[in-house]
Amino acid sequence: MDELGESPTPDDGLYKLACSIDQYCGVISPWDTPLLIFGDDPADIYFLPDQYDGLFFRWIGANSIEQLTAFAVETASGDPWDETTSFEIEYPEMTLMDTCTFVGESAPRIDMTLQTGAYTVRSRYADTANIMAVVHRFDRVG
């Protein structure tokens, strides 16, 4: 596999592999290391470690972060889900970062700790007249 390089494009290397995820969430495994990819359109993403076994949500539209957070928590309690992805966490220390980040770039990152083991990630798009979000609920299996 090609290296990421200094100018990532959807046609090369790791960025190409990440861009191959055409769902809300999917897994790629370069270097035999599973990486969870949040696909679809780019959007600011937030993480609530104390909701379920982790709750990620992406801001597509809302009047405030408080409004968006309340909506994401409420949405995560319901059904149906658009997609389900299985994911194994082997190393508890993880970093969430933009898929196009490369060495030396100072893009925002979220450091997090999750328990090791198998997870189901349920994803869905949800909206109201004033709020639009993609919600990803982590549930530890077993």
User: Highest mean pLDDT: which of 48-52, 64-68, 91-95, 97-101?
Assistant: 64-68
At residue 30, the pLDDT reads 79
User: Highest mean pLDDT: which of 64-73, 79-88, 93-102?
Assistant: 64-73
Higher-pLDDT residue of 76, 16:
76
Phi, psi angle pair for 43, to nearest 5°? -160, 155
pLDDT at 5 over 80: no
Structure confidence at residue 98 as a pLDDT band (50, 70, 90): low
Q: Do 131 and 61 meet the contact criterion of CB atoms below 8 Å apart?
A: yes
Beta-carbon contacts of 43 under 8 Å, excluding residues fewer than 6 positions away, are 58, 59, 60, 134
Helix (H, G, I), strand (E, B) or coil at 29: coil
Q: What's the mean per-residue pLDDT of the chain?
A: 84
User: What global pTM score does this model have?
Assistant: 0.82
pLDDT at 103 over 70: no
Structure confidence at residue 2 as a pLDDT band (50, 70, 90): very low
